[in-house]
Amino acid sequence: MIDDRVKIRCPKCTRIFSDRAQRVRDGYQVNCANCSRLLTLNRDSEDPFIRRALKTARETRAALEAVPVTTRMDMSVRSQ
Ligand SMILES: [Zn+2]
């Protein structure tokens, strides 16, 4: 299984929360799950954690797209 959750570290409260890789991309805005601060995820952010989150999300999306949907369905049918 591919984990499609990406860890995001809030620059204000430094707490880590996660969001789906399909949603996390350059310019994505999300509220911190802990302090509700609105975060904007920019590729050129000075925060290395935000840059890493965007990179991880991109790699996760590529991994998910590498597995055709039909193949996944075939596998689940066979295992039942
Ligand atoms: Zn926060």
The residue with tokens 């969001």 is 19
pLDDT at 2: 79
* d(CA 18, ligand 1 centre) in Å: 12
Q: Note the pLDDT tens digit of each residue in 19-43.
A: 999 999 999 999 999 999 999 999 9
79 alpha carbon – ligand 1 mean position (Å)? 42
The answer, yes or no, to whether residue 75 has pLDDT greater than 70, is no
Q: Comparing 70 with 17, which gets the higher pLDDT?
A: 17
CA of 62 to the centre of ligand 1 (A): 28
Structural domain boundaries in the chain: 5-78
Tell me the three-class secondary structure of the chain, residue by residue.
CCCCEEEEECCCCCCEEEEECCCCCCCEEEECCCCCCEEEECCCCCCHHHHHHHHHHHHHHHHHHCCCHHHHHHHHHHCC
Interval between CA 66 and ligand 1 midpoint (Å): 33
Residue 68 pLDDT grade (very low, low, confident, very high; cuts 50, 70, 90): confident
How many angstroms separate the alpha carbon of residue 63 from the centre of ligand 1? Answer: 29
Q: Separation of 74 CA from ligand 1 center, angstroms? A: 41
pLDDT for position 76? 55
